[in-house]
Structure 1
């Protein structure tokens, strides 16, 4: 089964590496042209650190298939960064989206609380027509070493849909160089989930960084609602996505893994 109706659980040994919420809206040019001083003042108590970055956008190619295709360089996009005092929460604002992310996810209620004030301030100051895409992405790294499951095969920890060939009796994990599952699921009439799942090593791209040799199980779940979501329904849309995410996550893990994640 891909979905589970188990009650939502809080796992002390949460595998969440990063959680990102992004809301996209029709382009607001003012944001790219004028520093958001009023927005900063509204959120400065919770996000006192500020930085601005110019993000390079990919060139636009037009006229493909014709005699004179053109490559047009696109202007840089201003990305405003607001960080919490402890650096654990980051808010991004551009002409096309507002996003909140954290590397210290402790639960949905805490995440939603950190989003409430900046989202309300953004809607009040910039008055977006609607949200074109509302999304939540959960990037989970499961470490058997951390969970005390070093000798347990992945096939006993995750549902068959995500372990595939690893469940075959004549296949050992150390024989499989690469094994991943990528799928896109419709969750209801307006929501979908894009999922990548499978074992792999996590690369640290920082210069001179020591690499982690442990093979972890990656469960990357990107949930989204597309269309024209009214600003007044943004919070409800996020709650809907979170609910879908709970059903998908609980459907992916086995009771043995739940027990390991529940240990204090």
Structure 2
């Protein structure tokens, strides 16, 4: 059996667009993004409907990319979404058996597995485009750009996928970029081992607190240039028995 902890927090002043779905042998973390011409259906709505569709499919043992492609296709068809002009979402999936852990990461919501070594499963294509390509949205779901779950099921097969042996892996962390920025951008956590230590000694909420404290120390966004002062935060911790 696995023990699963979660911590979630919206950016101040609006509902969160992050979502976390927990199954007996899988966790899905999504970070919704509202489209450029936002309809009533925003990024949080899309993350919710896509996550719900996907978790229903995860009860099978199919390939994660195939299951995600099916979920995207069903949601796109059901709600008549248009590629390039629809809400979107990052996706992180971890699913485990007694022998293996399958992971899938699409856009900037990483997964970190802790065992004899630390394995970071991350999709860095969006980060690599920032500061190089403008506007970033013109490079969404196209060759040479970055890929995210939207109204094009092809994105599912462009995800970063890894299968790890379960033996020796004690903990898996999944996070949206409102948390991973503490490691990747702000560097207030020197590494993911530090994040795990904080979770172990102070609890998951302390990680969110530390990121918020850092952001409040830079309200003009000069030390850490970013689109907004605060982002939604979602963190999931899977404690595996071995």
Q: TM-score with structure 1 length normalisation? A: 0.29
Computing the radius of gyration over CA atoms, which structure comes out larger, 1 or 2?
Answer: 1
Q: TM-score with structure 2 length normalisation? A: 0.31
